[in-house]
A = this chain, B = another copy of it.
Amino acid sequence: MTSRKVVSFENIKVACKNCSLATLCLPMGLTPDDVERLDSIIKRGRPYHRGDHLYRGGDKFHSLRVITSGSVKTYSPNEDGGEQVLGFHLPGELIGLDAIQDDCHTCSAIALETTAVCEIPFSQLESLSAIMSSLQHQMYRLLSREIGQDTEMLTLLGKKSAEERLATFLLSFSERFKQRGFSASDFFLSMSRHEIGNYLGLAVETVSRLFTRFQDENLLRVERKHVQLLDIPRLYDIVQGSDSAKSSQSRG
């Protein structure tokens, strides 16, 4: 009896239908029936701790993963010891899509803090999507969205100044936290300055100086990992490039 209760409790925890992230995640747009079927193949492992790898480049690919709490950094370890940070992932986001191509992870994923994930065995997902057109459609959409996000990032790295990059970075987190029901203007970043710089193609020192400058200009307040955005409209102006940022200074 007791064990039945425990099992039941576990099931509830895993179920997409009870998950606040469902609208951001794989179940988006699926009927409750379809969500139930999807649920049947999803597994939840034990949580990862800061610094634990979810997978490493070269590992055989079995499962896509959705972050359910915490945050994850993906990076591609490059030949000469260095690394390129590819992304920071928040709850509801799906990672591992790049590994479908040849059944092998091309990049690594590491927990930035205590992090829980749902695992979705890809071969089962594939089979299920063959008989559930809504799921297939959602998969195509998610893969396409990933491509769209990557191309936005290409524009960022190809054309934008350091200032524009950091503003874009901050607003991306602002929007994503907001979507998840958290404050859009007051949050903690789980990654280091070094990781931010690597991601944005900037030196650590440049990132640090920009935080200081943004603070001096009353765009934000920052203390270590804690960031408070004070003038989101002006940050958006900065993202747009063109030094219109100054002209549209918020009525202070």
Contact = CB atoms under 8 A, between A and B. Distances in A.
Contacts of A133: 126-127, 130
A199 to B, nearest CB: 8
A83 to B, nearest CB: 9
A144 B101 contact: yes
A230 B155 CA distance: 32
B97 A144 contact: yes
Given A126-B140, A157-B154, A157-B157, A148 B82 contact: no
Interface stretch (A73-81, A166-174, A213-221): A73-81
Contacts of A98: 144, 147-148, 151
Nearest to A202: B158
Contacts of A153: 150, 154
A98 B151 CA distance: 9
A81 B133 CA distance: 40
A15 to B, nearest CB: 25
Nearest to A244: B80
Tallying the copies of this chain within the complex gives 2
A147 B143 contact: yes
Main secondary structure of the interface of A (DSSP, over half): helix
Interface string A62-86: 0000000000000010111010101
A100 B130 contact: no
Contact of A106 (B78, B148, B240): B148
Central interface residue in A101, A153, A240, A241, by most chain B CB within 10 Å: A101
Contact of A100 (B129, B131, B144, B154): B144
Interface of A: 76, 78-80, 82, 84, 86, 97-102, 106-107, 126-127, 129-131, 133, 136-137, 139-141, 143-148, 150-151, 153-155, 157-159, 198-201, 240-242
Given A79-B241, A97-B143, 17 more contacts: A76-B155, A80-B241, A80-B242, A100-B140, A101-B144, A102-B141, A106-B148, A126-B137, A129-B136, A130-B131, A130-B136, A143-B144, A143-B147, A150-B151, A157-B157, A158-B199, A159-B201
